[in-house]
């Protein structure tokens, strides 16, 4: 199966062109954010304050990496269950987010927001956090350091293998005929 190289600098165009089932190798800037960070981001939005990173054409990875060993930029870096961020995703998509990386099913509301905003949902392999970490070239904590592993981090990734689970047309690998759930 051919993998498509995607750079985060061109994620807006890629999001329009990718289709559910495509396998990609993602390179560029990705921001980590999980539940606790999303709550803080929403507080900033509600207060009209600046966010720690630009949402326009951003990629968020639902991950809370473990501390890095001395010789690496990051520890294990596997995806968390994306459905936990479904309450937050539509608003972030409406504000310019173009791609989300995680694992598991997304809600109807999130898929509708993806279609409305021409965004994609990418799945990483669950249980393979050490493997995903090999794709991370650098890590910088950029917000909410007090959250520890759930702080917002800027990652530079290279050839991070992902599957397009939901595309910008609403095609959803989790909703294939014969699939329960």
Q: Which domains does the chain have, with CATH numbers?
A: 3-169 (3.20.130.10)
pLDDT reported for residue 1 = 63
Question: Alpha carbon of 179 to those of 25, 30, 131, 176: distances in Å?
Answer: 27, 31, 28, 6
Gap between the Cα atoms of 167 and 140, Å rounded: 29
118 pLDDT above the threshold of 50: yes
Q: Which residue has the tokens 């290279």?
A: 158
Average pLDDT over residues 116-136: 91
In tens, the pLDDT along 50-75 reads 999 999 999 999 999 988 888 889 99
| Residue 126: DSSP 8-state | T
Mean predicted lDDT score pLDDT of the chain: 94
Inter-residue contact 133 to 76 (CB < 8 Å) = yes
Report the predicted TM-score, pTM, of the whole model to 2 decimal places. Answer: 0.94
Gap between the Cα atoms of 112 and 114, Å rounded: 5
Average pLDDT over residues 26-47: 97
pLDDT reported for residue 126 = 77
pLDDT reported for residue 166 = 98
For residue 143, list its beta bridge partners.
Answer: 152
Inter-residue contact 91 to 55 (CB < 8 Å) = no
180 pLDDT above the threshold of 60: no
Gap between the Cα atoms of 127 and 6, Å rounded: 23
Average pLDDT over residues 95-115: 97
Gap between the Cα atoms of 16 and 22, Å rounded: 13
Give me the torsion for CA of 110, 161, 65, 54, rounded to 10°: -50
Poorest-pLDDT segment among 125-129, 147-151, 155-159: 125-129
Average pLDDT over residues 103-108: 96
């Amino acid at each position: 199966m051919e993998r498509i190289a995607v750079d985060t600098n061109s994620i807006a165009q890629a999001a329009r062109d990718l289709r559910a089932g495509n396998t990609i190798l993602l390179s560029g800037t990705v921001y980590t954010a999980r539940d606790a960070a999303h709550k803080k981001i929403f507080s900033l939005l509600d207060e009209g304050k600046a966010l720690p990173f630009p949402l326009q054409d951003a990629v968020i990875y639902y991950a809370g990496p473990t501390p890095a060993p001395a010789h690496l930029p990051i520890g294990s870096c596997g995806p968390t269950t994306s459905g936990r961020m479904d309450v937050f995703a539509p608003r972030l998509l409406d504000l310019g987010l173009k791609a989300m990386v995680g694992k598991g099913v997304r809600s109807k509301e999130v898929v509708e927001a993806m279609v409305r905003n021409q965004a994609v949902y990418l799945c990483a392999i669950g249980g393979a956090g050490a493997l995903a970490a090999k794709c991370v070239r650098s890590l910088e904590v950029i917000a909410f350091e007090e959250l520890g592993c759930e702080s917002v981090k800027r990652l530079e990734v290279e050839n991070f293998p992902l599957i397009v689970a939901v595309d910008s047309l609403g095609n959803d690998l989790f909703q294939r005929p014969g699939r329960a759930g």
